Amino acid sequence: MKTKSATKPRSKRRSSPNLAGQSRRATSLKAAKPNLWNRTQRLVTTRAYQAVQDLTPGSPRSRGPSSISRARQKALLQLSPFELKDELIKLAESAERENVAQFLNAGRGNPNWICTTAREAFGTLLRFGIEESRRTMALPDLGRQIAKQPGLAERLAAFLASNPMAPGIKLLRETWDFGIKRLKFDPESFAYELTHGVIGDSYPVPDRMLRHCERIVHEYLAREMCDGRPPKGKWDLFATEGGTAAMCYIFDTLMQNSLLHRGDTIAMGVPIFTPYIEITHLERFSFKPVNLDASVERRRDGTHVWQYSDAEIDKLADKRVKAFFLVNPSNPPSYAMRPGSMRRLVNLVKTKRPDLIIITDDVYGTFVPGFRSTMAELPQNTIGVYSFSKHFGCTGWRLGVVAVHQNNIFDKMLARLPSGTRASLNRRYGPMTMEPEKVTFIDRMVADSRLVALNHTAGLSLPQQIQMMLFSSFGLLDKTDSYKQLCQLIVRRRYQALFEGLGLTPPADDTRAAYYAQLDLMVWAEGEYGPEFAKFLRDNYECIDVLFRVAEQSGVVLLHGGGFGGPDWSVRVSLANLAEDTYPKIGQFLRDAAAAYVKEWNASKPTYETPRT
């Protein structure tokens, strides 16, 4: 974040002879002539105030203080970054209306690309489903429910062969062949699930996930979350309305089944997605959080590594910590846990904490080549969550999945609960089955998602599950990973463009997902101008002041990194939702804001001119 227009950075020495001399003269003047000192200070203050006024916004090039008072900013700090964003959007949109700047919302994590092929395949499959529903019915606007009858597989195969030019037909044919030949599906059962699933003419059965869809999504997770090297055994999957619903269901079932209790201590890998922080403070949970802080470790130049140090991971050895909750790759730093840290975590769990519950949100895993989740390394302890939203550009579809390994600690923990607790849980799940004690942890989660009483209508809608399966098969059958590499290239080019605008060279790092960038203004301030400048910023501005400046003067909306449990003076830049050519501008706007702070700092320094007598 070096600034072209800023004062030349300080030398490595803490103070120059010039400044030291000024300081000695100031001390002597204050002691010898206090009245003259006071007049001098008033003169300095007046000049500093005038310098600040000269920077007031009035044109696209002006850079200076925000019109939002410090008191107002301080009050707004209590908001989540996502609610604070709405205030920033108002300023940015106002700047655009006044032709001061172009509105650029770099606060959103919604990607501005979509996967088209899997959607085309869905549309063509829907066409077959509608034709099948009309096959024996000639009434207008009416079709019959898809029936599970012999001959459906043959008709679907014929449709796939006779429509070579239909959109997405290649993926449909390959998905059909993959299921029949590779996974050994029964053709009639697979054809029925595809056809009645895309039509959505009945409740989800099984409620947890359709069987064939589960198998294909399982293969996808084994490839993408485990780098094609999954652990032994299988996961049970629960299809959910996106990753956020998955998290709600997980915490609810952990609490309902006394695996977590109100007031328990849980560890969180921070920085982390803000709502996860807020969950811990809800009255129902009132968890005591212990932070594993990825901002502690620094490079030689003072910048953050965004990895958990050994000391941070070792906090999990404390038996009071019941669960470890992380986003991997992280949000907003956007780094996967490095192999060394993963090995330390695995060793700690296996030797000291085999009872530790791990909840991991791996939505950004596909943006890191060779990514391996804790699902791969510690399958027995991990509740894995994956959302299709980011990689496939389908946030509106609400497609997520919970993965729990069949050999897991959760079912064992349920079996060891006190007899009174088990009896109470048997009454809770008794209406579902004659043997409620045998209901697994993940099936309890499905029932809890519908308050148990409505378990018979639980589950993600059938069309959503079909689209999820098609996204998965598209990823599996893309042998060269062309789509995945293209998505990675998109965000990496934007990351590079942002840093070009900042005038910085980002360090090489194989663990970087580059879906977001988290920039710490205070690291830059201390590194370039020393602790005095950093103190000036802390004493005179709120940590979100820079957000208001760039919104009001440049039309750019960023998010407050401190709201994610990160450094207070950091900002999150989303690299997912704007065109590549906008990111050098965002970098430049941040440089301009930094230059204005430096100018205000210089204007505030005493000049020690002697006023006329």
pLDDT of 30 above 70: no
Are the beta carbons of 335 and 306 closer than 8 angstroms? yes
Q: What is the pLDDT of residue 432?
A: 94
Are the beta carbons of 356 and 362 closer than 8 angstroms? no
DSSP states of 431-461: GG-S-GGG--HHHHHHHHTTTTTTGGG-S--
| Residues in CB range of 491: below 8 A, 6 or more apart | 367, 513, 514, 515, 575, 576
Are the beta carbons of 64 and 56 closer than 8 angstroms? yes
Q: What is the pLDDT of residue 43?
A: 38
For domain 1-10+68-109+479-613, the CATH superfamily is Aspartate Aminotransferase, domain 1 (3.90.1150.10)
pLDDT per residue as tens digits for the range 322-375 = 999 999 999 999 999 999 999 999 999 999 999 999 999 999 999 999 999 999
497 — pLDDT class (breaks 50, 70, 90): very high
Q: What is the pLDDT of residue 55?
A: 31
Decide which of 57 and 272 is more confident: 272
Mean pLDDT of the chain: 90
Q: What is the pLDDT of residue 29?
A: 42
Distance (Å) of CA 274 to CA 35, 290, 330, 518, 564: 52, 15, 12, 14, 5
Q: What is the pLDDT of residue 20?
A: 38
Lowest average pLDDT, out of 26-35, 523-532, 594-603, goes to: 26-35
Q: What is the CATH number of domain 116-202?
A: 1.10.20.110
Are the beta carbons of 332 and 559 closer than 8 angstroms? yes
| Residues in CB range of 422: below 8 A, 6 or more apart | 414, 437
pLDDT per residue as tens digits for the range 413-471 = 999 999 999 999 999 999 999 999 999 999 999 999 999 999 999 999 999 999 999 99
Take residue 166 and report the two structure tokens written for it. 């239909």
CA geometry: angle at 322 spanning 316 and 323, to 5°? Answer: 75
pLDDT of 99 above 90: no
Q: What is the pLDDT of residue 19?
A: 34
Share of the chain above pLDDT 90, in %: 83
pLDDT per residue as tens digits for the range 360-404 = 999 999 999 999 999 999 999 999 999 999 999 999 999 999 999
Q: What is the pLDDT of residue 611?
A: 55
Q: What is the pLDDT of residue 469?
A: 98
Q: What is the CATH number of domain 210-477?
A: 3.40.640.10
pLDDT per residue as tens digits for the range 10-25 = 433 333 333 333 344 4
Decide which of 224 and 20 is more confident: 224
pTM: 0.88
pLDDT of 495 above 60: yes
pLDDT per residue as tens digits for the range 125-150 = 999 999 999 998 889 999 999 999 89
605 — pLDDT class (breaks 50, 70, 90): confident
Strands 382-387 and 321-327: unpaired
DSSP states of 375-390: HHHSTTTEEEEEESHH
pLDDT of 35 above 80: no
- Give dist(CA 110, CA 129) in Å, integer: 31
Are the beta carbons of 459 and 239 closer than 8 angstroms? yes
Are the beta carbons of 381 and 356 closer than 8 angstroms? yes
| Residues in CB range of 247: below 8 A, 6 or more apart | 276, 279, 359, 361, 385
Ordered by start, the domain boundaries in the chain are 1-10+68-109+479-613, 116-202, 210-477
Q: What is the pLDDT of residue 1?
A: 47
- Give dist(CA 179, CA 315) in Å, integer: 45
